[in-house]
Amino acid sequence: MTAPEADGLVSAYAAPEESDAEATLRPKRLSEFIAQHRVREQLELLLHGAMRRGSPPDHILLSGSPGLGKTTLAMIVSAELGVGLRLTSGPAIERSGDLAAILTSLSHGDVLFIDEIHRMARPAEELLYSAMEDFRVDVVVGKGPGATAIPLDVEPFTLVGATTRAGLLTGPMRDRFGFVGHLDFYEPAELEVLLHRSARILGVQVTPEGATEIAGRSRGTPRIANRLLRRVRDFAEVRADGVVDATVAKAALRVYDVDDLGLDRLDRAVLVALVDSFGGGPVGLSTLAVAVGEQPDTVEEVCEPFLVRAGLLARTPRGRVATAGAWRHLGRKPPATVSSGPAAPDLFSSEP
């Protein structure tokens, strides 16, 4: 998925230049896909059932935050079924004709992956309904009273739709998926397993303590864990003996400005501004954004989701407020007016 401002090391969005690095680390089969046991088991049943019957499985909708493995799962679905895969995204399909061209070029059983499916234009979405249901599309030729609809057949296929915002999907669209899977944030222990797997592929030696150090700062997100591993590997090779242990991981992540909770410079700047300049809030988003020299969109879409999930910032009707956890994370004593908040943030539970 593309980011509003994809840059930081701990951004869950993919940077364009890291697609090769990501491809190297992508699991190819369901058995290699780490964690997400419920979705994995359900998918396994769906795929094996379809294979036994010799027909394509129902359409699959995958929801979850960026970087949790939706694209990877779509690729795995096509690999497990042994069929072709076409990749596109909602925003890339500007006209329904673009989608008709893709649909009519699919071979029998192919998987069509549409990322950010909630961002597809309405006419294209309507065309997709009949393709999903009846394997048929009506392509309208001409305009006004002379316009004619030409029906075209589409080979039976499986649509895998991915969305970070399941709530934005229209009812008719959601109803056409026979399987809906939600990907949760990963536990640190699961990310440690993932990091050891990635380290093996990259040929870098990582100690258990080194993996723990990186996993704890990865915001529950495989994409971030793999990215931090690549940066820590650089440090280990240039400034140490190549082995990623806890000391090396800590020193590397200090250089890259990623703190114990996985906050980067901008996240901390937001908290520092809230606490030091605005007495902990409430303060409006635009004022906060000006205080840290960023666009409101960047603060809202890049920083805040994690700060909220980490229990450090609250969005209230009167504005943004620093929680007691935020004061403590910055090493300050929370004022008595701030409720004490959760003892430790629960970073890894995510509800759709």
What does residue 188 show for φ and ψ, rounded to 5 degrees?
-55, -40
| Chain residues 162-191 in contact with ligand ATP, contact rule CB under 6 A | 162, 164
Q: Which amino acid is residue 87, in one-letter code?
A: L
Residue 88 known to be catalytic: no
CA distance 193 to 124: 40
Burial of 174 (0-12, 13-18, 19+ CB in 10 A): middle
Backbone CA torsion sign across 181, 186, 187, 192 = positive
316 labelled binding-site residue: no
Comparing every residue's Cβ against ligand ATP, the nearest one is: 69
Site string for ligand ATP, 13-42 (x = CB under 6 A): xx-------x--xxx-----xxxx------
**Residue that the structure tokens 């309904």 belong to:** 129
Q: Tell me the closest approach of the beta carbon of residue 4 to ligand ATP, in angstroms.
A: 12
Q: Tell me the closest approach of the beta carbon of residue 117 to ligand ATP, in angstroms.
A: 11
72 labelled binding-site residue: yes
For the chain, helix, strand, coil in percent to 5 are 50, 15, 40
Identified catalytic residue from 217, 219, 223, 268: 223
Residue 221 known to be catalytic: no
Identified catalytic residue from 110, 158, 163, 164: 164
Nearest CA to 115 among 157, 176, 73? 73
**Any contact of residue 194 with ligand ATP (CB under 6 A)?**
yes
Choose which of 57, 161, 222, 280 interacts with ligand ATP (CB under 6 A). Answer: 222
- Ramachandran class of 219: left when φ > 0, alpha when ψ lies in -120 to 50, beta otherwise: left
**Any contact of residue 71 with ligand ATP (CB under 6 A)?**
yes
Residue 70 known to be catalytic: yes
Query: Cβ closer to ligand ATP: 42 or 247?
Result: 42
Burial of 183 (0-12, 13-18, 19+ CB in 10 A): buried
Query: Cβ closer to ligand ATP: 78 or 226?
Result: 226
Nearest CA to 194 among 218, 174, 175? 218
CA distance 271 to 292: 10
CA distance 253 to 235: 9
Q: Tell me the closest approach of the beta carbon of residue 22 to ligand ATP, in angstroms.
A: 4
Choose which of 11, 63, 72, 78 interacts with ligand ATP (CB under 6 A). Answer: 72
Q: Tell me the closest approach of the beta carbon of residue 91 to ligand ATP, in angstroms.
A: 12
Residue 115 known to be catalytic: yes
119 labelled binding-site residue: no
175 labelled binding-site residue: no
Residue 20 known to be catalytic: no
Contact call for residues 36 and 69 (beta carbons, < 8 A):
yes
- In the 8-state DSSP scheme, what is residue 156? -
Residues that bind ligand ATP (CB under 6 A): 1, 13-14, 22, 25-27, 33-36, 66-72, 115, 162, 164, 194, 222-223, 226
* Catalytic residue positions, numbered: 70-71, 115, 164, 223
Binding residues, by number, are: 25-26, 67, 70-72, 133-135, 176, 186, 223, 315, 320
